[in-house]
Amino acid sequence: MDNLNLRHLFYFWTIAREGSIVRAAEHLDLTPQTLSGQLATFETAVGGALFRRANRSLQLTDFGHTVLGYADEMFQTAQALSDVISQPPEERPLSLSIGIAASIHKLIAYHLTEPVLTLKREVRLSCRTGDPDELLKRLAQRELDLVLTDRQPDSAEAGRFRTYRLASSSMSLFAIPQLAEPLRENFPRSLNGQPFLATSLKAPYVTALMNWFASQNLRVKVVAEVDDSALIKVFGRQGVGYFAAPTAIREEVCRQYQVEHIARISEVRDTLYAVTRSGKSHNAAVQELIKERPELGDRLEKTDP
């Protein structure tokens, strides 16, 4: 940066875009002699010729093309920044970086983030999935604005974060039609020894589901453990076994993966939270996301058998 004069770089960029020193000088309201001198000073500073003369015109050297590529990015970014600064504060785009626990079902994650996509203000959304503990570390380091998770932070970390309960849904079981029909008969005894697709993630609903199986004296035959909720559904669509998903997304799961609903397990629930840093956030997108949305868990369960 010691050798990089941004004004000289801007002069070079303008010359390259205009194709000649004369036209660039007119654009910059400088004399051609002054602009030519500024270009020579910049070439000396960067240690190489940026243009060569050919048939009374200027052509970029290889080095000039390289410098121009960086200059294009820099000044396009500067123009975008200028456009943002010129807007009234209430109309400027919002940046929102969200961490999403990998154990949250992807359709649920979409429904939880959907409200910010319908705000009147533009929202530049970035989503990262991963382990909840790692996401909370990134939240504390201000790399994230908010974390969507299915478990609350440890009590030892309570002072660092604020937790908001967003929604809760019972869990349901699903399978392809050939498996679902016999499993619905004599439920839950019909599940005994049948192939089950389990998640290897340490989600609270998984522990509750396994405890429910035990309370029913069912032998669970796990045929695969998968650490991705979407991949489990793909396995289920291929008939490998039955799987669990929140009742709140029952219709979407059935439609997207060509499976059928077996039964709802009201005793097992998936509860979701938004976690922010302690202290009130002034980001309007964050404020929109931390609103409780009971309709997400209730909308389908009201009509469940």
Task: Kindly report, residue by residue over 232-263, the tens digit of the pLDDT.
Answer: 999 999 999 999 999 999 999 999 999 999 99
pLDDT exceeds 70 at position 296: no
Q: What residues contact residue 104 under an 8 Å CB cut-off, 6+ apart?
A: 112, 148, 149, 150, 229, 272
Residue 138: domain span: 91-167+272-294
Confidence of residue 89 (pLDDT cuts 50, 70, 90): low
Same-domain pairing of 61 and 205: no
Q: Is residue 14 part of a domain?
A: yes
Q: Is residue 179 part of a domain?
A: yes
pLDDT tens profile 123-148? 889 999 999 999 999 999 999 999 99
Same-domain pairing of 129 and 244: no
pLDDT tens profile 184-220? 999 999 999 999 999 877 888 999 999 999 999 999 9
Same-domain pairing of 75 and 222: no
Same-domain pairing of 258 and 281: no
Distance CA 261, CA 255 (A): 11
Is the bond leading into 182 cis (omega within 30 degrees of zero)?
Answer: no
Q: What residues contact residue 217 under an 8 Å CB cut-off, 6+ apart?
A: none
Same-domain pairing of 182 and 64: no
CATH no. for residue 77? 1.10.10.10
CATH no. for residue 203? 3.40.190.10
Q: For all residues of the chain together, what is the average pLDDT?
A: 88
Q: Is residue 1 part of a domain?
A: no
Structural domain tally of the chain? Answer: 3
Same-domain pairing of 189 and 264: yes
pLDDT tens profile 39-48? 999 999 988 9
Q: What pLDDT sits at residue 279?
A: 75
Q: What pLDDT sits at residue 302?
A: 44
Same-domain pairing of 34 and 71: yes
Same-domain pairing of 27 and 118: no
Q: Is residue 73 part of a domain?
A: yes
Q: What pLDDT sits at residue 90?
A: 63
